[in-house]
Amino acid sequence: MTEAATATETTAGTDGLVVLKGVNKHFGALHVLQDVDLSIAAGEVVVVIGPSGSGKSTLCRTINRLETVDSGTITVDGRPLPAEGRELARLRAEVGMVFQSFNLFAHKTVLENVVLGQVKVRRVARDQAEAKARALLDRVGVAAQADKYPAQLSGGQQQRVAIARALAMDPKVMLFDEPTSALDPEMINEVLEVMRQLAADGMTMVVVTHEMGFARSAANRVIFMADGRIVEQNTPEAFFTAPRSDRAKDFLSKIL
């Protein structure tokens, strides 16, 4: 296992915005996260790639505590993840998450989808929340859809609403778990473009994706996972042109 030795080479110190130390997670006998150490700096864009089943989604889900861990620590902005209650709701607001399946509230309008969390979790006044929601919908290019229901929108539009909804909570970090994998090809770019803009604006982002063009153009760092471990990490340029591990070479040979 010489691959693991290179895993922490480009990891920042312990003062990252999101810091995982010695994180382990099992699903029954399956060891899905194995001694994961990861420090993400404020403003950093980290793209996570790796074969199916390597633990990418689980990694994301532990960061906003959709999954608990068996051992190790996770801190966001220096604070350990809260176990439950209002503190957990606040953490989930601070750690925005966008999933492959858009997960909008189907029975609420687009506007309401972006207003709701602000009012319920952030205790923002309704008119203020609406103004912010409209501004965010405009920012992601779906302002004209505000009064429609999610099912009336294209997949690309729905995903942009999901991004606006997460942004409405003023997150410190945004997690994207294969945000374009469920989209028709012609809609992928409109979502990636919103994400590129977000990255350019300085948002801290963790992005699980198979879009290598996005990784090359927007990531500060690429993390390659296999079998629950961070096998290799590097700048996109170095990773794509000179992967070091056999696992990464093999993976890249299949997708590029």
**Minimum CB separation from ligand ADP for residue 1, in Å?**
19
Residue 57 as a binder of Mg ion (CB under 5 A): the answer is: yes
**Minimum CB separation from Mg ion for residue 244, in Å?**
24
Residue 78 corresponds to which amino acid?
G
**Applying CB under 5 A, which part among 21-29, 32-40, 43-51, 56-64 lies near Mg ion?**
56-64
Smaller CB distance to ligand ADP: residue 44 or 177? 177
Residue 26 DSSP class: E
Residue 209 as a binder of ligand ADP (CB under 6 A): the answer is: no
Give the residue from 76, 79, 135 showing the smallest Cα distance to 111. 135
**Applying CB under 6 A, which part among 45-53, 68-76, 103-111, 115-123 lies near ligand ADP?**
45-53
Smaller CB distance to ligand ADP: residue 55 or 156? 55
Per CB under 6 A, the list member of 11, 58, 113, 233 interacting with ligand ADP is 58
Q: 3-state DSSP call for residue 111?
A: helix
Smaller CB distance to Mg ion: residue 132 or 176? 176
Query: Site for ligand ADP (CB under 6 A): how many residues?
Result: 11
**Applying CB under 6 A, which part among 7-15, 37-45, 49-57, 160-168 lies near ligand ADP?**
49-57
CB-CB neighbours of 240 under 10 Å: 16
- In whole angstroms, give the CA distance from residue 168 to residue 210: 26
User: Radius of gyration over alpha carbons of the chain, in Å?
Assistant: 18
Q: Give how far Cα 83 sits from Cα of 74, 111, 194, Å.
A: 12, 30, 32
CB-CB neighbours of 84 under 10 Å: 8
**Minimum CB separation from ligand ADP for residue 105, in Å?**
23
237's enclosing H/E stretch is helix 236-241
Between strands 18-27 and 71-76, the pairing is antiparallel
Smaller CB distance to Mg ion: residue 57 or 113? 57
Q: Which residues bind Mg ion (CB under 5 A)?
A: 56-57
Question: What does the binding site for ligand ADP look like in residue numbers (CB under 6 A)?
Answer: 27, 30, 32, 50, 52-58
